[in-house]
């Protein structure tokens, strides 16, 4: 655990040593504001809640999380520093977990910095704070799932751009799989079981309840499990490809 902490600390400060974290946070704050006010009509709805804000998170994460995760492993392999990392007395899972936690903390920080929005609805009315806290937690969990996928894609290639595109595509599949578009496309020929299975992988469906402030065990479990599985996949990929 000590090593996980050391790695996470290094990675976290590296996000802030380069403009990556600042740009990410600035863009995230700007876009989430734009989406909730102009497209989500936060004011016009006349309700003191943050539902329009949270509803756009899957779409924001779709592009922003792969961007923050794309360098995690590909840069490490391209520069050769992976050789250094793997010959230090640190096991791969410690490195994987450390890197994940560091980037997840940056995402968490970006979420925390949206607090003015919370203050705004507080000023305008009396929102249910429990719901908002739950939605924040849910959003952070979903961000973790996006992050784990993106990191796994970053482990696949030395090229950051390729890592980014792969991550966006895979994340997109998971976001979309429950949408009416996919379900409609499957409807004519696939059985109900297949449709249900595909739909159950959807980030959107699992996040829907969370955005409304319901932290159901199956939704939380789904995102936690996604994180674990994708991180485990990256561990195997790194083990296989570290020296390529």
Other CB atoms within 10 Å distance of the CB of residue 70: 26
78 versus 212: smaller Cβ distance to other proteins: 78
* 3 state SS of 126: coil
> CA 167 to CA 173: how far, in whole Å?
10
Binding mask 157-196 for other proteins (x = CB under 8 A): ----------------------------------------
Q: Which among 214, 218, 200 has a CA at the least distance from the CA of 51?
A: 214
Tell me which of 31, 86, 173, 198 binds other proteins, using CB under 8 A: 86
Q: Is 213 left (phi over 0), alpha (psi -120 to 50) or beta?
A: left
Tell me which of 41, 81, 180, 200 binds other proteins, using CB under 8 A: 81
> CA 46 to CA 35: how far, in whole Å?
16
Decide if 84 contacts 229 (C-beta within 8 A): no
16 versus 43: smaller Cβ distance to other proteins: 16
Regarding 6 and contact with other proteins (CB under 8 A), the answer is yes
Tell me which of 158, 212, 241, 242 binds other proteins, using CB under 8 A: 242
Give the shortest CB-78-to-other proteins separation in angstroms. 10
Residues at the interface with other proteins (CB under 8 A): 3, 6, 10, 13-14, 17-18, 79-81, 83-84, 86-91, 242-243
């Amino acid at each position: 655990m000590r090593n996980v902490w050391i790695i996470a600390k290094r990675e976290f400060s590296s996000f802030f040593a380069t403009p990556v974290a600042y740009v990410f946070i600035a863009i995230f704050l700007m876009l989430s504001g734009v989406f909730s006010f102009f497209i989500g009509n936060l004011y016009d709805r006349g309700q003191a809640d943050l539902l329009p804000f949270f509803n756009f998170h899957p779409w924001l994460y779709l592009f922003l999380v792969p961007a923050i995760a794309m360098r995690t492993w590909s840069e490490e392999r391209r520069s050769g520093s992976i050789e250094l990392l793997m010959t230090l007395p640190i096991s791969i899972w410690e490195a994987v977990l450390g890197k994940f936690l560091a980037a997840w903390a940056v995402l968490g920080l970006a979420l925390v910095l949206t607090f003015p929005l919370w203050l705004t609805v507080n000023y305008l009315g009396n929102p249910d704070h429990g719901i908002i806290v739950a939605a924040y937690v849910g959003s952070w969990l979903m961000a973790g799932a996006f992050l784990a996928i993106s990191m796994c894609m970053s482990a696949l290639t030395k090229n950051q751009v390729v890592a980014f595109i792969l991550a966006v595509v895979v994340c997109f599949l998971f976001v979309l799989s429950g949408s009416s578009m996919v379900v409609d496309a499957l409807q004519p020929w696939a059985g109900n079981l297949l449709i249900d299975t595909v739909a159950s992988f959807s980030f959107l469906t699992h996040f829907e309840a969370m955005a409304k402030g319901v932290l159901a065990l199956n939704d939380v479990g789904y995102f936690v499990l996604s994180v674990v599985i994708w991180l485990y996949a990256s561990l195997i990929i790194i083990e296989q490809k570290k020296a390529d």
